[in-house]
A and B are shown apart, each in its own frame.
Chain A
């Protein structure tokens, strides 16, 4: 396990091993080996890009669903959470403290599609007591990356 590499990849998963090697002072081979091991151990679960879909016609809608559920005596929230996360429409599932139990992020092509998924699939699960759907209207920041950032590098070379 190499925390330094994890930190670097956590900020930018697209860096090449050669770059990470230069940033850490490790050899390229060591970096490759460390990353492969962390992938194998399930420490690194995957890589993705943060995409501003709103820039495309193929924009999708997301909703945050608050789920109140009755936990099963033996399995707590695990069973229901695992059931919910298997749906391809579901992007994230979190167990929450406070007024509701599971926070489910759902993705779909249209509001209609998401609403149907919630009412037909999630709401009908046995232990689900209630659902509350909040549609996301605009994404400002995701995974540390600002989506509406229009900053340009306006630093001049006025002095040294």
Chain B
């Protein structure tokens, strides 16, 4: 009989499946569960985008595209980055269209990491950076961001973690799950730390269009001298409500991008063709649709944040993405206990902060990709739960 233990890569076996899985398996068996767990938009992909996808199918545009993506799409991405964030990337050689932002992160880390290289990962943050680093033979170095710093990384914390082996800094802002953003002053200070070092920044800016108030997203690559040491990752999932289309992109200096493109070429060939045609339309004609979705998110954001505060949970203002990250320390429960008890008692599914790193202890993530009625009902149930404690 075949011995799978011998077959499988030990470092793959060592990766823990997302801790959240078992939690949602419980939720799935219960009736009337009201979830604030999902991290994807509830809006339909705007019609003109879907229509562009349909048209491309009608015209049988169903072949591979160039490895780096349709030239027209790369030109639109270049124009979009210029228009929105004053970033200049050459469609020829500095932009790669990928299967979601996730692939871009994976490819970027694969292209640069050697065994033993250290990757500084701020947490709480999205769950993919650590396992991908490990799979590349890299060593994750966790930077635990603090609530009192609004979950921003500080130049002091960063400096303290840099060693001669540091190869990459992951910069996941606007941040899932904390809703933190980095503003220009914050980025200047981080750039000051990095400017004279051979450290690459992988800046995951997938939530860049979702910053609230009058705050506009700023990219680390906009800072003086930083473009040459940054890979900017973005995509269509959150901005245009296109999660299932699986489309993102990576931008960076051509010496790095050409290597990334090589891996992409052999591993993926090219991003889905239909999605690429749809994405051209998204970048050309959807500013209004994006603005109206953002307006709706903002109402929900205020409702959920003020709602948590009203029922007695401390909740910082999330300035970006679409999550609230209230503290549940006042209950004396751990994040996991809180979520499990809440699920059994009131059938509300939240995600324990610890799913995003140890630093998430004492917090829970509540997505507000839900209707106002849904959010209101969830808040009422959480309030009942808090009173029962």
Hey, which bits of chain A sit against chain B, CB under 8 A?
8, 12, 15, 19, 21-25, 153, 155-157, 159-160
Contacts and interface: CB of A to CB of B under 8 A. Distances in A.
B355 interface: yes
Given A155-B42, A157-B35, A22 B356 contact: no
Contacts of B349: 157
Contacts, number: 47
Given A12-B372, A15-B372, A159 B39 contact: yes
A160 B177 CA distance: 9
Contacts of A8: 299
B351 A160 contact: yes
17 contacts: A22-B307, A23-B300, A23-B306, A23-B372, A24-B302, A153-B42, A155-B38, A155-B40, A155-B369, A157-B24, A157-B37, A157-B38, A159-B18, A159-B127, A160-B20, A160-B39, A160-B356
B80 interface: no
A22 B310 contact: yes
A7 B217 CA distance: 26
A81 B211 CA distance: 48
Contacts of A153: 42
Interface core residue of B310, B351, B372 (most chain A CB under 10 Å): B372
Contact of B303 (A19, A155, A157): A19
Contact of A19 (B35, B39, B127, B376): B376
B126 interface: yes
Interface string B5-24: 00000000000001010001
A2 to B, nearest CB: 14
A160 B306 contact: no
B335 interface: no
Interface in B341-386: 349, 351, 355-356, 369, 372, 376
Interface of B: 18, 20, 24, 27, 35, 37-40, 42, 126-127, 176-177, 299-300, 302-303, 306-307, 310, 349, 351, 355-356, 369, 372, 376
A26 to B, nearest CB: 10
When A and B form their complex, which 9 residue pairs have the shortest distance between CB atoms, in order from nearest?
A22-B306, A157-B24, A155-B38, A23-B299, A23-B303, A22-B303, A23-B302, A157-B37, A160-B127
Contacts of B39: 159-160
Contacts of A22: 302-303, 306-307, 310
A25 B302 contact: yes
Contacts of B127: 159-160
Nearest to B310: A22
A160 B372 contact: no
A16 to B, nearest CB: 9
Contacts of B20: 157, 160
B122 to A, nearest CB: 16
A72 B5 CA distance: 92
Nearest to B38: A155
A99 to B, nearest CB: 29
Nearest to B20: A160
A3 to B, nearest CB: 12
A128 B306 CA distance: 56
Contacts of A25: 302, 306
Nearest to A16: B376
Interface core residue of B35, B176, B299, B351 (most chain A CB under 10 Å): B299
Contacts of B302: 22-25
A21 B376 CA distance: 13
Contacts of A157: 20, 24, 27, 35, 37-38, 349
A12 B376 CA distance: 13
A83 B316 CA distance: 57
A11 to B, nearest CB: 9
Contacts of B355: 160
Nearest to B308: A22
Interface core residue of A21, A23, A156, A160 (most chain B CB under 10 Å): A160
Contacts of A155: 38, 40, 42, 369
Nearest to A14: B373
Contacts of B126: 160
Contacts of A159: 18, 39, 127
Contacts of A156: 38
A40 B126 CA distance: 50
Contacts of A23: 299-300, 302-303, 306, 372
Contacts of B35: 157
A23 to B, nearest CB: 5
Contacts of A24: 302
A159 B306 CA distance: 27
Interface core residue of B35, B127, B303, B310 (most chain A CB under 10 Å): B303
Nearest to B309: A22
A159 B365 CA distance: 14
A15 B39 CA distance: 25
Interface core residue of A12, A19, A24 (most chain B CB under 10 Å): A19
Nearest to A12: B372
Contacts of B300: 23
Nearest to B304: A22
